[in-house]
Amino acid sequence: MLIEIVGIIVIIMAIRVLLAQDRSERLLYLNVIGFGMSALIALYIQTPFGAIIAITFFVTSTLSSNAIAYSLGRVKEEIIYDE
């Protein structure tokens, strides 16, 4: 039952990514999808190797979301001069 609930949340977030207009809003939904996928991996593959895969996916998705947030913050701070 828990796998289905997390799967539905991931599908809803995927639809919201397609419908979102703002880039930061899309990235927020993509972040939720990444964390949901790591939860699905951990719930579906109930072995120690499945836990290692889920932890690795979770850590890498966290690092990528932090890199994206940092990049967006730097882009907003830059001043663009028209020549």
pLDDT along the chain (83 residues), means of 10: 91 93 82 86 87 86 81 68 59
State how far the Cα of 43 lies from the Cα of 64, in Å rounded to an integer.
22
In-domain check, residue 25: yes
Buried/exposed code over 49-63 (b: 16+ C-beta within 10 A; e: otherwise): eeeeebeebbeebee
What local confidence, expressed as pLDDT, does residue 82 receive? 58
Record the pTM.
0.72
What domain count does the chain have?
1
Give the torsion sign (CA, 7, 23, 31, 56): positive
In-domain check, residue 83: no
In-domain check, residue 49: yes
In-domain check, residue 82: no
In-domain check, residue 66: yes
In-domain check, residue 69: yes
**Identity at 44, one-letter amino acid code:** Y
What local confidence, expressed as pLDDT, does residue 37 receive? 87
What is the greatest pairwise CA distance in the chain? 59
Domain that holds residue 16: 2-77
